[in-house]
């Protein structure tokens, strides 16, 4: 039923909702679409959102819901079809997140990595777009959440060096291609893509990287034969009760001014809250 404000919709009064249970956004979408009679009245209205742990969420009359990872009061936007499309906080920033669910893009390329054999993050020096984050917030995932990651950029190599790609959550490596030989080029293109599948949650969680795939070609156009590198596997334990930052690193086998790589564009999308 409507709250005191005409623009607020009370969840606590709807049948089937337990206001004291922490609801994931997927649960909320499922419930709203199931309650068709109530959903039909949701036309571009806002739902009150409170951060986890807020005392007011215990009062069902206030229509409070919680979103894992959200730390400020705000509003959920409900589209005319009853689907929740976004969350926003009056203060903006990282607490304004799209529930559709792009987490990260960048607007400027990462730093050029050259003349080093040290493992280095491809995200080094990048400029993320406003509101972007590579952080998996503590307690923000459920079993079945998937994070899709894609990076594209340029590289150069001389002397047929090897490369190595690692995927990390904070400092923990969750996927590793080991070394692979790069073709010599003065200007090549590469892409890296993979997904992180959350198998279980908590402080002893298990995540699986499904097909970390790196593709490197020695030119920027034409019919080319790529070099591929692959990895996959499960990692446990991972503590998903704390913030975990998604990172992708690259490592040349030899330091040379002609061995160069940088990230051009990066994209991280979260599926299933």
| Residues in Cβ contact with 243 at an 8 Å cutoff, skipping those fewer than 6 apart | 135, 136, 137, 138
Q: Indicate whether this model's pTM tops 0.75.
A: no
**Secondary structure letter of residue 23 according to DSSP:** P
Spans in the chain with pLDDT lower than 70: 1-100, 272-273
Q: What was the pLDDT predicted at 183? A: 93
Question: Which residues make up the CATH 2.60.120 domain(s) of the chain?
Answer: 102-271
pLDDT in tens, 153-191: 999 999 999 999 999 999 999 999 999 999 999 999 999
Which backbone phi and psi does 16 adopt, to 5 degrees?
90, -5
**102-271 has which fold?**
Jelly Rolls (2.60.120)
Angle (CA) 153 158 161, round 5°: 85
pLDDT in tens, 107-133: 988 899 999 999 999 999 989 998 889
Taking CB atoms within 8 Å and a gap of at least 24, the contacts of 222-228 are 227/180, 227/181, 227/182, 227/183, 228/180
Q: What was the pLDDT predicted at 189? A: 96
C-alpha–C-alpha distance, residues 7 and 48, integer Å:
10
Q: What was the pLDDT predicted at 28? A: 57
Dihedral through CA 168, CA 142, CA 102, CA 9, nearest 10?
-150
Q: What was the pLDDT predicted at 56? A: 34
């Amino acid at each position: 039923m409507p709250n005191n404000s005409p623009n607020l919709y009370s969840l606590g009064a709807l049948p089937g909702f337990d206001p004291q249970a922490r609801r994931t956004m997927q649960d909320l979408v499922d419930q709203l679409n199931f309650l068709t009679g109530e959903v039909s009245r949701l036309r571009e209205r806002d739902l009150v959102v409170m951060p986890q742990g807020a005392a007011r969420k215990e009062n069902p009359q206030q229509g409070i819901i919680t979103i894992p990872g959200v730390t400020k009061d705000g509003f959920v936007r409900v589209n005319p079809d009853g689907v929740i499309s976004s969350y926003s906080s009056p203060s903006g920033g990282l607490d304004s997140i799209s529930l559709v669910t792009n987490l990260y893009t960048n607007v400027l390329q990462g730093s050029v990595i050259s003349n080093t054999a040290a493992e280095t993050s491809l995200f080094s020096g990048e400029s993320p777009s406003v509101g972007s984050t590579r952080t998996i917030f503590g307690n923000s995932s459920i079993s079945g959440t998937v994070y899709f990651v894609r990076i594209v950029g340029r590289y150069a190599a001389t002397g047929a060096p090897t490369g190595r790609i690692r995927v990390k959550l904070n400092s923990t490596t969750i996927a590793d291609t080991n070394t692979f030989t790069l073709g010599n080029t003065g200007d090549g293109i590469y892409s890296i893509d993979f997904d992180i599948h959350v198998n279980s949650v908590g402080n002893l969680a298990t995540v699986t990287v499904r097909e970390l795939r790196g593709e490197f070609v020695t030119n920027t156009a034409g019919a080319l034969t790529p070099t591929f590198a692959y990895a996959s596997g499960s990692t446990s334990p991972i503590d998903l009760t704390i913030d975990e930052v998604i990172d992708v690193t690259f490592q040349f086998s030899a330091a040379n001014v002609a061995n160069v790589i940088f990230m051009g564009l990066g994209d991280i999308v979260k599926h299933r809250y």
